[in-house]
Amino acid sequence: MPRPIRARIDLAALRHNYLLARERAGGARAWAVVKADAYGHGVLRAARAFGDVADGFALLDIPDAIALRDAGIRQPILLLEGFFEPSDLALCAEYGLTPAIHRVEQLEMLRAAALPVRLPIYLKLNTGMNRLGITAAQLPAVRRELAANQTVGAVTLITHFAEADGERGIAWQLDNFARMRADWPEAAAYPHSMANSAAILRHPQTARGENTWVRPGIMLYGGTPFADESAASLGLRPAMTLTSRIIGVQEIAPGERVGYGGLFEARRPTRVGTVACGYADGYPRHAPDGTPIVVDGQRTRTIGRVSMDMLACDLSDLPQAGVGSAVTLWGDGLPADEVAAAAGTISYELFCALARRVPVVEG
């Protein structure tokens, strides 16, 4: 019998969440962001779920883009970090990929590539995130290069919000974006893409218009981008549910400790359930005592330090629970965002950390 841990991916939930994102985006088209193996859900699996309703797919790695093409995906594919060396450009042309351009040297490489087709590009503007992107000071050189470059096809302007989910908001970046376009007549005709999940949901003005593309990410997978608003309240459905079972039970007395380092000390007679799940499966090792967990449909808490293959939970108030009891680590019935918050992280990390050794089923 195989180890009881497994992850269930709900394809219908993925599709629902994409359609909700596009609905909230009004008239905008929506990239289905499937980077990082679709946030741990499987890039080909997610592509099947989004299917023909997706306007396009956005990711990082050219091999993943080629895999989508080989699987029959014909929608546009956006490379969010662009290309990394000139040899990548031939693959972009062959497979019909749209690279993001975030530095002048990439435009120069594109001109020198002498491609058989004009390549559509997403020109990234740095409006304050300060990771990648063309600055205002670099715009004159970019405009000259675009005018001279016969390999560039359609241009879309892209930027990324640093605090769409926070108090500072996005107005300052929108102002920077407007200033960068103000003295650039051609830019008025360029489509643009600004809104991530948080902006789609909280700043809908960034997701309106026929020439607009949005880039929903975490919301596609049933996670919330906000600390103060749950995924369920936004109408999102969990796409990944991680489950296992109780594989052992210990009865300990007050004063006895549990697990490596003895971090948990019993204050009362305690039934300890051992779950077949640990950090080698992707569960966060730093999750503290009290992280929520569901056993036989009832909530309880983790206790002690998470180890490589196991973690412990408190069964003291669940007398019916024992060896073989069903456990939900996160997902349907236990929001991943809640587990992540208890562990001091975000649901993105939980999803992306799911280990290859965990069997995945679709349902």
Token pair 């697990």: residue: 259
Residue 303 neighbours by CB under 8 Å, 6+ apart: 258, 259, 264, 270, 272, 289, 312, 313, 314
Verify whether residue 39 is a known catalytic residue.
no
Tell me if 139 sits within 8 A of 117, measured CB to CB. no
Residue 67 has which token pair?
């895999």
Residue 51 CB neighbours (<10 A)? 15
Euclidean distance between CA atoms 161 and 59, whole angstroms: 18
Euclidean distance between CA atoms 208 and 192, whole angstroms: 10
Verify whether residue 260 is a known catalytic residue.
yes
Q: Which is the catalytic residue, given 18, 35, 39, 348?
A: 35
Q: Which is the catalytic residue, given 18, 39, 95, 260?
A: 260
Euclidean distance between CA atoms 212 and 70, whole angstroms: 28
Tell me if 119 sits within 8 A of 98, measured CB to CB. yes
Token pair 């995130």: residue: 129
Which uninterrupted H or E stretch holds 300?
Answer: strand 298-303
**Cα dihedral value 237, 242, 245, 250, nearest 10:** -100
Angle at Cα 282 formed by Cα 12 and Cα 333, nearest 5°? Answer: 45
Catalytic residues, by residue number, are 35, 260
